Structure 1
Amino acid sequence: MNQPYPSVYKLTLLHILVGLLLVAGCATRAVAQVPQQDTTLHVKISEGPVDSLTLHHVAVTDSILMQRDSVFYTKLKASMYKHRLTRQLYDAVFQDVYNSRVRTGEVSQLEVNPFKTFEGRIIGDIYIRRLSVFGQTVYDTLRKPANWIERTGNRLHTNTREHVIRNSYLLFQQGDALNPTVLRDNERLLRTTSIFHDARILVLPRPGSKQFVDVYVITQDVWSLLPNGGFGGLTNFSVGFDQVNFRGLGHQLFAQVAYSGTDPRQKLEYQARYKVPFIGKTFLTAEADMLYLRDLKQAAVKLYRPFLTPDMKYAGSIELNRTQVNNRIVTRNEVTRNDTAILVPLTYNYSDVWIGRSFRLFYSRPDTDEKGRSRLVISLRNTSYTYFNRPNVTADTNQLYQNSRTTLFSVGYTRRKYVRDVLIYGFGRTEDVPIGESVAAIAGFDNAELGERLYMGLNFSQGKYVRRIGYLYGLINFGGYIRKNKIEQGIFSFESNYFSPLMKTRWGNMRHFLNTRFTTGINRFDNEYLTLSSSGSGINTDGIGINSDALRGTKRFLINYENILFSRLSLIGFRVAFITFANIGLVSFTNHAFLSGPFYQGYGIGFRLRNENLTFNSFQIRLSYYPNIPGNTIPFRQAVEGIPALRLRDFDLSAPQLVPYR
């Protein structure tokens, strides 16, 4: 969705604000105290058997421990500590930028569920400990803010209220028999929400009792307020904010206004969104959106609940919206090979309702952390498009804009567990890596304006760590409509994602990432096409990082490679990573040989800054080179941009859906 930012200057207000934060030092230092001094955290993870991934985690631990004892940095520190000014400079730039849990040796024990020791005991009191945004961590609650900026930030921020955590974010309550899997799921659930930087759950035996235990829930918020906007003069500017934890309630509020005095179509644009996650103990999330942009006007409401954990039995959603959009389509004259872009005005109502039920499989054997949890999931979905303004629809033209009501049914199998790791997409926060597989079959019918047709689809995905190689994920999709015994709007796609083990270098820790994607359409409608056009770079883009109408076709192959060096540098608490990337893509139409077209290329270098305690996207500066893009007269390009945090693909099954053609 296009944001109403003025495009006159590439340096937006957001980038200026981030720069001011860098200068002002509004960030957290990552120097940990000795863990034994933390009076809150008494529980030591018990020894126990570990799986084949132990060596992987030991390698992470050893590499980071060795860095801290580096002879180079020991000498540098001794030299710079001789003078007050250089000592302050060293403390500001060179810090232990990784979570202190790595120093405690806990990474090598992450796959041992620490709650198993207390399985079956009765949960007595539940204590909520809310840490400040800056200074403390869930592994070192005695750390203090490093400077007045951090102390001021803590005073200005409103922590998530205790009753909100207790009533909306916990999967257990007083009097429950302690289930180690539930507590492990709850830790992961807290970490994956947008309002918490990190979370930890501890279980302590109650003195004098062999039956009761007390549970401590420790959370640390992120800085929740993110201003945004841009300035291109008094006739071209935008201003807004994104508050991800409104008044400590966990609610999310986004608002933005943009003004373009020289645009004759519409001078003022605005958009807003309000989101209420995890209502009560239902884990339902409500969301309302309003957009009033030049080419998109929309009002939408949505109520939904996904399968947040494998043990959740029910999931579903209901969504209603009214949309008015100027849809941009590109047509090609096959004789002249010229492309023409036009705007097609559309107005329609959209509704989407689905419900799903999860069933446990293999009751003869219990769920285990080693094997994961297997579930059978069945779902039913109904979607409807009703158009009020559109171009003329016939059997040969503009079929995309026909009124339709689609009903889909799916049955699938999923098995998943989670392995905790660090330094993948984050800069030191705990990351939960999904391990498992899923397979789903989708069937249904489309009661469309041009006639009823059947739909059939199938998808399979799997992901796991391979010892000494890294993490591998693969996804295969096939689907399409069937009308008069012929496939219509069919698609076959394949996707793979890979990241290497964490490798120690003299400059920091490094990973390699490699993503590949292949998509081909089968008897698609006119004006349906794939594109290599995109923004971003490396694995943060679904194209090659540049926009061009020439990068279109009905078949597409894409390779995204990225190398990330997580350096030891920390600029005023913002952790620094250096990147190199390469994007290579191939695209062609059905009537052309797929491999005959050129491999479009993009290469580049850059660096990213991120503070995990802030809601800001990673701040990236990159230099890119695009040697063979048609019509591109500027092969070298630079960009200053925000990079959202990526998340690993999970194996949860949700609403039955058509295989996306993208």
Structure 2
Amino acid sequence: MPRLLYKMLFVRPVLDTTDNGRVLDEDRLFEPYAGKTIGEIAIAREQVFSPDGNWFERTGNNVHVLTRDRVIRRDLLFRPGDKVDPQILVRNKQLLRSRAYISDAELEIVPDPLDTAIVNIVVHTRDSWTISADAGFHSEGRTMFSVYDANILGTGNKLSVKTHFDRNDFGYGGNIVEYEIPNLLGTFYTAAFSAGRDFYNSELKLGLGKEFIKPTDYEVGASYEEVKEKYYLVDRDTSELGKIHAVDIWGGRSKYIAPIRSSVYVTGRYSRAHFSLRPQVGPEYNPAFHNTDNLLFGVGLYREKFYSANLVYGYGTREYLATGYNAELVGGYSWGEFDELMYLGAGLKAGSFRPLGYVMGGISFGSYIDLSTGAWRRSAVDIDLRWFSNLFVFRRNRIRQFLSLNYTQGWNRYSGSEEVLRFTRENGLRSLREDVTGINRAVLNTETVFFTPYQPLGFRIALFGFADFGLLGYHANPFRNEFFASFGIGMRIKNERLIFNAIQLELGFAVGKRGWLDSRYVRVSNQTRMEQYRYLPTRPEIVGFR
């Protein structure tokens, strides 16, 4: 009986690839077939769990609707008659793996027995369990509960329904419905819709767009948003309602240049933001709430190549990590209700695997320019450095070290909302609760993760410890600004076959020059997967300052 119970609870996923932690260049696996003609393409789909798994897994397979054959075929970047391109095949594996309803994908090349110039391809996929629920607890008693399915009837489409209520008196706060089609009719366009209300907040969002996928490709998209929500005004330490009507239209084209193994690209974007309800504004006050029309253009060079690894941002299945670079110049014009300004910006980011792990660095700079006076307005620079180590083995544990450094500084900023910096979820100290502001911020985050061998019901358990350090204030020299630090430990559990996020328990505290600070001593959350760096061009952006 104890052995039977152990086998039910502690299972080793079939797709676990954590034994070696090697980084693989999968292009080389396909290079012997480069240039051959693709013949037949077959799809081999597998259920979420192993058919000989425990009772929970077998029941899940019986309830789950398998992703349809045509849905997977629509996501293929190659067709019968195409020539085998190793980089396109690896890119396609990454694309399939990025779908919420696919937990793993493999491409098997089978030489044709009658013609050596032809190869057939078998696309192996394994589904994810895509039905889940979520909850959120907010201030003023506001509570959210949602249910969603990211693969409705095997179509790959996602439907989410969020219900809001007051947990103090169970008063009804409204519903928000979201629907997303990740690949509309095989065009690689993503269509998204959401509408509803959340107490005093409401939204209507429509979007349709296609991103760059191949080295020679195009992007195009449009979105409309009508959103009413409360905005936190940091300078007044209060919140006020605002309602924005926003239109965004963008497009771009890229061309692969073989001699430099890179793609050149051009992009353009028009955006319009007008408020029908907003906080007080002035010529140099609360520019985030100014009515504006912006026209931006971008030009640049980029290269992107994928390598596979595991136990980086995931919990055991194969992950595809991008290496490469992107160098971009951005320019444009802004027509505001109080002024008209030119905008200039530039950005560079690059990343690769080195002997000691993965290193990525990026820098972006941007500023508005008043052409009538030549004065620079609302300038900002953002520097981002990230590193994670190779995978270390300690007995049965797998260990990886993460480090990130972010530096943001502003000049000639206006006053009001979004004109000062704070510690944020992306660039901040995890256990610090105090609200601090400035125009110069430096944050160093370190984390050590222990991936344990324990997997109850297929959930991998990871333990972690962190140390965060920050400098924030109004002095140009960051080392003369106020110092903060937070330390802690925690645990995450995640089953890669299930769509919901990792469950995280975190214990920590924060200190500073003034001693012990207001801290989040205990926090339970559903951690989203960390965003992986990509080097593909996107629509032109204003350098962020937040």
TM-score range, shorter chain: over 0.9
What is residue 310 of structure 2 aligned with on the other side? 422
What is residue 385 of structure 2 aligned with on the other side? 496
Distance 1:109 1:544 in 2: 34
Distance 2:305 2:407 in 1: 27
Distance 2:136 2:380 in 1: 40
Deviation at 1:90, TM superposition (A): 4.7
Deviation at 1:94, TM superposition (A): 5.7
Distance 2:86 2:480 in 1: 56
Deviation at 1:207, TM superposition (A): 2.0
What is residue 612 of structure 1 aligned with on the other side? 496
What is residue 515 of structure 1 aligned with on the other side? 404
Contact 2:17/2:317 (CA < 8 Å) preserved in 1?
A: no
- State whether structure 2 residue 438 is matched by structure 1 residue 531: no
Give the counterpart letter for 1:297 in structure 2: S
Distance 1:604 1:154 in 2: 39
TM score, norm. by length of structure 1: 0.77
Distance 1:580 1:101 in 2: 24
Deviation at 1:453, TM superposition (A): 0.7
Distance 1:608 1:326 in 2: 32
Percent identity, please: 27
Give the counterpart letter for 2:404 in structure 1: N
Query: What is the aligned counterpart of 2:35 among 90, 97, 120?
Result: 120
Contact 1:259/1:267 (CA < 8 Å) preserved in 2?
A: yes
Change (3 A) 1:503 1:320: same
Aligned pairs for 1:39-118 (under 5 A) are 84-85=1-2, 87-88=3-4, 90-91=6-7, 96=12, 99-101=15-17, 110-118=25-33
Deviation at 1:89, TM superposition (A): 5.1
- State whether structure 2 residue 14 is matched by structure 1 residue 129: no
> What are the Cα deviations for residues 424-443 of structure 1, in whole angstroms up to 9, with x where unaligned?
11111111121111110001
Change (3 A) 1:627 1:449: same
> What are the Cα deviations for residues 249-270 of structure 1, in whole angstroms up to 9, with x where unaligned?
0001111112117589x84132
Change (3 A) 1:416 1:403: same
- State whether structure 2 residue 186 is matched by structure 1 residue 281: yes
Secondary structure class of the residue paired with 2:126: strand
Distance 1:636 1:401 in 2: 31
Change (3 A) 1:549 1:94: closer
Secondary structure class of the residue paired with 1:204: strand
Give the counterpart letter for 1:530 in structure 2: L
Deviation at 1:174, TM superposition (A): 2.1
Query: What is the aligned counterpart of 1:154 among 36, 51, 61?
Result: 61
What is residue 30 of structure 1 aligned with on the other side? none
Contact 1:555/1:589 (CA < 8 Å) preserved in 2?
A: yes
Deviation at 1:478, TM superposition (A): 0.6
Change (3 A) 1:239 1:393: closer
Contact 1:511/1:564 (CA < 8 Å) preserved in 2?
A: yes
What is residue 253 of structure 2 aligned with on the other side? 357
Q: Runs of 5+ in structure 2 lacking a partner?
A: none
Deviation at 1:584, TM superposition (A): 1.2
Change (3 A) 1:631 1:173: same
Change (3 A) 1:443 1:132: same
Change (3 A) 1:608 1:629: farther
What is residue 623 of structure 1 aligned with on the other side? 507
TM score, norm. by length of structure 2: 0.93
Change (3 A) 1:374 1:237: closer
Give the counterpart letter for 2:496 in structure 1: E
Deviation at 1:238, TM superposition (A): 4.2
Number of aligned residue pairs: give it.
Answer: 540
Look at both structures and tell me which one has the larger radius of gyration over its CA atoms: 1
Distance 1:411 1:625 in 2: 45
Distance 2:4 2:241 in 1: 59
What is residue 51 of structure 1 aligned with on the other side? none
Contact 1:129/1:219 (CA < 8 Å) preserved in 2?
A: yes
What is residue 374 of structure 2 aligned with on the other side? 485
Distance 2:44 2:126 in 1: 9
Change (3 A) 1:631 1:252: farther
- State whether structure 2 residue 242 is matched by structure 1 residue 346: yes
Larger strand share, 1 or 2: 2
Contact 2:23/2:309 (CA < 8 Å) preserved in 1?
A: no
Aligned pairs for 1:280-319 (under 5 A) are 280-311=185-216, 313-319=217-223
Deviation at 1:382, TM superposition (A): 0.6
Aligned pairs for 1:84-483 (under 5 A) are 84-85=1-2, 87-88=3-4, 90-91=6-7, 96=12, 99-101=15-17, 110-135=25-50, 144-166=51-73, 168-229=74-135, 238-260=144-166, 267-311=172-216, 313-331=217-235, 340-362=236-258, 364=259, 373-467=261-355, 469-483=356-370
Change (3 A) 1:314 1:185: same
Deviation at 1:471, TM superposition (A): 0.9
> What are the Cα deviations for residues 292-340 of structure 1, in whole angstroms up to 9, with x where unaligned?
12353210100011112324x1112101111222222022xxxxxxxx4
Deviation at 1:100, TM superposition (A): 5.0
Change (3 A) 1:108 1:285: closer
Contact 2:102/2:126 (CA < 8 Å) preserved in 1?
A: yes
- State whether structure 2 residue 540 is matched by structure 1 residue 656: yes
Distance 2:8 2:492 in 1: 17
